[in-house]
A = this chain, B = another copy of it.
């Protein structure tokens, strides 16, 4: 540990955030997450490490981190949001049967997105691509 967390922490501090226990805990939860946790999940995991943390703080913190670009907020076809640390760009494939979220990256795809935006007279600021599928039988 240490390396990544320090980077995260210092990035937050450089952005003018105060480092409280709650925030440190939330960052640690995000760091350790191998999935794309919902706010509820971040809350529960944080709470198990540090019971004195409230839902409101989790929401406020995730919103801040999102604005700073430290995390990415996802709104898949569900009625709640999920978050993940903002690492290298990738897209998502959602398994419709299990709800699993699988990451993937495809250079050709990235190039095409850029091209399309450009052709339409736009600078691409952000984008999202989600594939929803069922595991192939046989």
Contacts and interface: CB of A to CB of B under 8 A. Distances in A.
Given A129-B127, A131-B117, A93 B122 contact: yes
A130 interface: yes
A132 B125 contact: yes
Q: Is the interface of A mostly helix, strand, loop or mixed?
A: strand
Contacts of A125: 96, 132-134
A50 to B, nearest CB: 29
A131 B116 contact: yes
A120 to B, nearest CB: 6
Interface stretch (A2-10, A15-23, A26-34, A105-113): A105-113
Interface residues of A, number: 32
B108 A131 contact: no
Contacts of A77: 75
Most chain B CB atoms below 10 A, which of A77, A118, A132: A132
Nearest to A131: B127
Contacts of A106: 112, 116
